[in-house]
């Protein structure tokens, strides 16, 4: 199984801050890395697929990069609606495993 490790597990930031979340795979997953945003009581929402492609409707302040085993989600200027939990997910192996999540809180 491919294990996904996110860091940090939580962070505090202010509106307007640049935020970076990292995700590491236990084995190469090439470009097959997705990012999701989840707000309390809601279903996850796809933000970015295959490392860097924004899902339709996702603001351009979100970006993704990386390849192989190391990946990054960046929010260039944090907005009030971005306070949520973010999950990475690999879709290279048959079992699509998730990272443990990063909770982005208001400072």
Partner 1 sequence: EVQLVESGGGLVQPGGSLTLSCAATGFTFSSYALQWVRQAPGKGLKYVSAISTSGDKTYYAYSVEDRFIVSRDNSKNILFLQMDSLTAEDTAVYFCARVSPTYSLDRWGQGTLVAVSS
Sheet bearing 45-49, strands edge to edge: 10-13, 102-106, 85-90, 33-38, 45-49, 53-54
Distance between CA atoms of 14 and 79, rounded to whole angstroms? 8
Distance between CA atoms of 104 and 21, rounded to whole angstroms? 10
* CB 95, min distance to partner 1, A: 5
Nearer to partner 1, 17 or 31 (CB): 31
Applying CB under 8 A, which of residues 21, 23, 25, 34 lies at the interface with partner 1? 34
* Footprint on residues 48-77 left by partner 1 (CB under 8 A): 49-50, 53, 55
Question: Which positions touch partner 1 (CB under 8 A)?
Answer: 1, 32, 34, 36, 38, 42-46, 49-50, 53, 55, 87, 89, 91-92, 94-101
């Amino acid at each position: 199984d491919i294990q996904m490790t996110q860091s940090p597990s939580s962070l505090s930031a202010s509106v307007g801050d640049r935020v970076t979340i990292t995700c590491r795979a236990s084995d190469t997953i090439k470009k097959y890395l997705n990012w999701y945003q989840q707000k309390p009581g809601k279903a996850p929402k796809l933000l970015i697929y295959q490392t860097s492609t924004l899902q339709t409707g996702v603001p351009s302040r979100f970006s993704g990069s990386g390849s192989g085993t190391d990946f990054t989600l960046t929010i260039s200027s944090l907005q009030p609606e971005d306070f949520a939990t973010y999950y990475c997910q690999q879709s290279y192996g048959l079992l699509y495993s998730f990272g443990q999540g990063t909770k982005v809180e208001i400072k």
